[in-house]
Chain A
Amino acid sequence: MDKVQEGFELIFTIVNAGYTDLVMEAAKAEGATGGTVINGKGTGNEAMEKFFGITIQPEKDIVLILIPKNLKDAVLKAIYRDAGFDTKGQGIAFALPVDEAVGLGKAVKDLQNP
């Protein structure tokens, strides 16, 4: 199993439905090659909504982006800037450590070892 790759992170972004383009454009500008979108439904806290004076749209999209560790900070920052809480996307992004990954294309490997 020589092709197993380490040193990746999974960026998990939850945005309002229809705003996945904001996330992907921000991520691609920082070097991400692609992502996967899942539809979901948020369960916001009404008291919190009143307190902060915002409405939480229940329909959500989840964007999964697998990215080399060295690009993680830049991509997270870009997502926060372009699709973060102060934008229409109202996105929440976080990264999870990936132990092993298989099936990534050559483009992604090049990103890891520039």
Chain B
Amino acid sequence: MARKSKVESAFTPFEKTTPLKRLKLLVTIVNQNQADFYLDLLKKHECGVQMHVHGHGTATSQISDLMGIGETDKDILIGVVRENQVAPILEEIEKRFNVSRKAKGVAFTITLTSVVGVSIYKFLTNSTDLIGGK
């Protein structure tokens, strides 16, 4: 009996039992007060974590005068998404960028190389199958 329980409690690394999904950091930089659309979009695509920070652009006044864009305050949205979600999200973001000149922005992704903690990984991937949800 004692031997059996020892076998049962043997440690198996999470990545041996579950195929891992690659995670990416999605950064979106847009004009101020434009953030809500992107937050909703990320929520719709089951993005696990999103962060919203304020910043400002550094285009010189000469250039901005020329292009008629006086506004330099920016909203920066940082979210962690699964790799397979990146393409549809970027597609929708680009559609939004083309709505008007004020809606213009930049979005890009960076691959995450490590995550520490199985529960954190499950949270970031927002995989309901892994956390026993629907």
A residues sitting closer than 8 Å to B (CB atoms) are 1, 3-4, 8, 10, 20, 24, 28, 33-39, 63-64, 66, 96-104
Chain B contact surface mostly: strand
Bound-state CA distance A6–B93 (Å) is: 16
Do A36 and B107 have beta carbons less than 8 Å apart? Answer: no
Please pick, from B58, B97, B110, the residue contacting A63 in the complex, using a CB distance under 8 A: B58
B122 on the A face (CB < 8 A): no
Within the complex, the shortest CB–CB distance from A86 to chain B, in Å, comes to 23
Within the complex, the shortest CB–CB distance from A3 to chain B, in Å, comes to 6
B34 on the A face (CB < 8 A): no
* Closest residue on chain B to residue A102 by CB atoms: B94
Do B90 and A99 have beta carbons less than 8 Å apart? Answer: no
28 contacts between A and B (CB under 8 A): A1-B87, A3-B94, A4-B94, A8-B108, A10-B27, A10-B110, A34-B57, A35-B57, A37-B55, A37-B56, A63-B58, A64-B27, A64-B29, A64-B76, A66-B108, A97-B110, A97-B111, A98-B108, A99-B24, A99-B111, A100-B108, A101-B106, A101-B108, A102-B93, A102-B97, A103-B94, A103-B104, A103-B105
Do B109 and A1 have beta carbons less than 8 Å apart? Answer: no
Do A102 and B90 have beta carbons less than 8 Å apart? Answer: yes
Having A36-B56, A64-B29, A99-B108, one finds 7 other A-B pairs with CB under 8 Å, namely: A33-B59, A34-B57, A34-B59, A37-B57, A37-B58, A63-B58, A103-B107
Within the complex, the shortest CB–CB distance from B124 to chain A, in Å, comes to 17
Interface residues of B in 85-121 (CB under 8 A from A): 86-87, 90-91, 93-94, 97, 104-111
B53 on the A face (CB < 8 A): yes
Within the complex, the shortest CB–CB distance from B3 to chain A, in Å, comes to 49
Q: Given A35-B58, A36-B57, A36-B58, is A100 in contact with B109 using a C-beta cutoff of 8 Å?
A: yes
